[in-house]
Amino acid sequence: MHDMIRHAALFSRAAHQAVGQRRKYTDEPYWQHPVDVAEMVAAVGSATAEMIAAAYLHDVLEDTDVTALDIEECFGQRVSLLVLELTNQFSNPEIGNRAHRKALERDRLAQVSPQAQTIKYADLIDNTGSIVARDHGFARVYLAEKRQLLEVMTAGDEALRRQAWSVLTEGEAKIRGASR
């Protein structure tokens, strides 16, 4: 494993553990989610070490005390820029309601780099399963938001995008079946 990737994996794990972060539906240590996302990204033929490192780090700015400067100092400008592209810019409720914030974020993500979109596809794939399995009410909202996102986020790895669409449509079918 490339040294940068190994360092990003350890850095991400330490950052998420430092704040005691756990997965909402499974209560497993949160650091496992970035590992799963990074493994999906690593399987993409065009994946670079910077992309894989950013996949490990994709949630640290939102969820921990890590700053973009910390990431740039440790991993370089390219990784920092990818993580910034993946960091939700519209989470503050003062901006508007959830639908408005998600629309702004969707428009922004439609414009990020193909590398960031590839990582976002992997993030969506990993998150969808646990949400659909454990929270049908929220899953309806989540899946509708992700459908709109995949419709505009078209520049990333095509095979991973197809996989994201497949996971999304399977989730929608499960939710429809559960409501009958």
Which residues are the active-site residues? 62-63
Structure tokens at 6: 């190994």
Q: Which residue has the tokens 């910390």?
A: 70
DSSP-based three-state secondary structure for 29: strand
CA-CA distances (angstroms) from residue 165 to 55, 86, 101, 109?
A: 19, 19, 22, 16
Pair 121, 157: CB distance under 8 Å: yes
Q: How far is CA 178 from the centre of its chain?
A: 26
